[in-house]
Each structure stands twice: as C-alpha cells, then as structure tokens.
Amino acid sequence: MTETNPHIKVIPAKTKGFISINSHPAGCAKSVTEWSERAKSKPTITGLGSAPKALILGGTTGYGLATRVILTENLNASTISVGFDAPASESRPGTAGWYNTYSFHQRHKGNDKHFSLNGDAFAQETRENVVKLIKEKFGKIGIFVYSIAAPRRKDPVTGTVYSSVLKPVGAPYSGLTVELDGGKLSMASLQPANEEEIANTKKVMGGEDLMLWIDYLKSQGVVEDDLKVVAYTYEGPSLSWPVYKDGTIGKAKDDVKDTCVSLNGDLAKSGGMARVAYLQATVTQASLAIPTVPLYVAVYSKIMKEHGLFEDNLDHVYRMLQLLGQEKAGADTSVALRADDRELDAKIQKIVTERMSVLQAGTVLDDTHFSALRGAFLNLFGFEIPGIDYTTPVDTLYGKEWEI
C-alpha cells in the first residue's frame, strides 16, 4: 500500500474455512489468458453452429466462465454473461468473477461481440436488460447456459425471499471431510431438512427461474428456432448421495430436470432442445462446503491424474460441449447429457472407495492430496498461479470500468 494510492498494495491469499477473503487481479488475468489459449488450440467443436450467439448465466467463474471462454475462442461465438460479483474498491479487492470478467474483456477489447451484466439473475430487471442487449447487439441467441448456484432468491412476482439449505432429507447425515485450513480430517454432521426447507431450496435452486428465463426470452422474440438450452448440474457417487443427490439440493436439481423435460418437448417443435449437463466433481467455493465432497474431490482428482483421465474445468466443459454438439433434437430424446461418465466409471469409483475407507477422523490428509486440493481452491481466486509474483503490489481497482 502507498500513501498516495491506497489501492496499490500486496494482496495475500487469505481464507477462512472454505471461503476466500481475497482475490488477485493479476492471477485471475493470467488464468483467463491460459484458458483462452488452450481453448483456441483445441480442435473445433462441431454441431453448435458457426459463430453462435450465447447467453450464459453465471459466466464469471468455474464452469460458466469455462463455457464462455470455449465458445469464444473455439467457435468464435458472441457472448453475453450475467454475473453477481462484488466490484473492486480502494479498500478491498473485487471478487474473482469481477477480475475474470475484466480480463476476458481486455482480451477481446474493441470487437463489440462480448457483453457482461453484473446483477441478480433472478430479477426481472436483469431479464429485461439482457433482452434489450440481445435486441441491440445480437438480434437472437442460439445457446442458453444456466450455471447458477445461489444461497437465496427473491421471487420476482411476490417479492418473497427464499433461502436454500444444504441438508439431507429424511435422516441425519455424518461423513468424513477435510478442513481446508491445515488438512485435518473430521466428521461433519447435518440434521435433516424440514418440509419448508426442502420447498424453499427448490424455489432457489429448482427449475422455476430457468423456465421464467426461457419463457421471457421467447416472448420477446430473441431466441433462434433451434435454441439449445443447457442447465448444469452434479450428481456424484453414491457416497455423497445422502447429503447431495437425495438431499435438498438433489430434490431441487430433480425439478431442474423436470423443467428441462418440459422445455425440451416445446423447443423440439422448432428444432431446439433442452439438456441437463451432468458435470464432474470439481473444486468450487460452493462444492467444498458440502460434507464429504472436499475429501472426495482430493482423492478422486489424484486417481484421475494417475489414470491419465484428469480434466480441469476447461477440459471438462470442452468435452461436454462436444457431446452437446452431437445431440439431436427430439421431444422424446433424453435430456440427460452425461459428461460425468468418466468420474462414475465403476473401476474409478472402486479405487476411490478403497482409498477413502482407510481415512480416519483426527488424522491429517497427506500433503500430496491436500496441497493439490488447496492449490486448486486458491487458483479459483488468482492465487498460486505459476509466474505471478505475489510480493509485488497490484491495483485492486483493476477492472473497475468493465461493467456496462
């Protein structure tokens, strides 16, 4: 920090549990550049059209950002991204999504093909702003990606605010997990959700908002006849089912699938489709808060690397989009797009089970597993990126002007 420019300072990695307090602008910028160059070098994805126009909800981090980068670099797409990120200020850094978005725009500066809105994707005002932008810049979109995970949602009609919970349904759950601060293994326990919590989680994470988006976009005449709708989800292995697939989040995700079945029947009439993309376990701030999942991701990722099957977010979404390009429109076609097939392979899961069975609470996860897990987590926020000198002061206001 300097006396004349308090926003010029060294930004250290700082975490509290599974929450990162800081993000690093230079690290985020380098990550976006690296992803972009890799996406550009991959064979061109077929079946998604030439230079498609895409709307991505949740396109600032993780799988959403990977989707935007791949569509842009690999297919010369035009994109609109909606995120909900805290901007940079003189007192503290912006969120990783804020810096990622600015870095993306810096790379594509001046081509008038990419636009980003920072706001609540659940709000009708955001839908209206997006439609206005589509009409002005694109005319219509051909790809719609729904990559949203949120703790709460305000109903755009009633104004009621609903909160989601991560809980099992029907019975308590206890599972072994790993603490990100130090790697200690401990037991995590959750009490089952009540009916109100199940219903509220469905209101936040279910398919209602997805349907509102598609209905509104169609009513405004801004979607192509062969629109492709993709909603991202996760199912995971049976060991996490009590707290995820069979829990409150899983119930909400079932509703997303039901919504996509309904949407697919409608969209297929004009050559379009809706799919639920089942993606692999990955390191995100949200996923690491789920008991058992952090430990599972650490063990699973190492096994996949040993077998030459490991995919980071970019590689995984690239393969998923390849699968999407092979899909054929049809009202009776399954909406499940299984990109998690490698993760759920019986041989891989057998090894995962064997290795996790010997782990015990009160011990510390070995450094090979723990350092990779913590490193992947910090990478999300621009830390531990090779080639970045984290002792050099940087401008926290980097990216202040990107919002439109």
Q: 102, 146, 232, 244: which is the annotated catalytic residue?
A: 244
Q: How far apart are CA 178 and CA 6, in angstroms?
A: 37
Q: By C-alpha distance, which of 133, 141, 149, 190 is closest to 57?
A: 149
Check: CB of residue 403 under 8 Å from CB of residue 116: yes
Torsion of CA 102, 105, 110, 114, to 10 degrees: -130
Pairing type for strands 161-163 and 152-154 reads: antiparallel
| Long-range pairs for 104-112: beta carbons < 8 A, 24 or more residues apart | 104/32, 104/36, 104/65, 104/68, 104/69, 104/72, 105/402, 106/29, 107/32, 107/33, 107/36, 108/72, 112/137
Tokens of 19: 């929450």
Cβ-contact 119, 204 below 8 angstroms: no
Whole-Å CA distances, 289 to 17, 128, 198, 286, 355: 9, 33, 18, 6, 21
Beta-carbon contacts of residue 313 (< 8 Å; ≥ 6 apart):
62, 63, 65, 66, 282
List C-alpha distances in Å: 63 to 86, 203, 388, 404: 19, 22, 23, 23
Residue type, 20: S
33 neighbors 107 (Cβ within 8 angstroms)? yes
The residue among 388, 399, 400, 396 whose CA lies nearest residue 1 is 396
| DSSP strands (E only) in 268-393 | 273-278, 336-338
CA dihedral angle for residue 113, residue 58, residue 104, residue 100, rounded to 10 degrees:
160
Around Cβ 366, how many Cβ atoms within 10 Å?
12
Phi, psi of 82 (to 5 degrees): -115, 125
Scanning 134-279, the segments in alpha helix (DSSP H) are 195-205, 208-219, 248-267
Q: Which pair of structure tokens corresponds to residue 67?
A: 């989707």
Is 244 in the active site? yes
Please give the positions annotated as active site.
Answer: 244
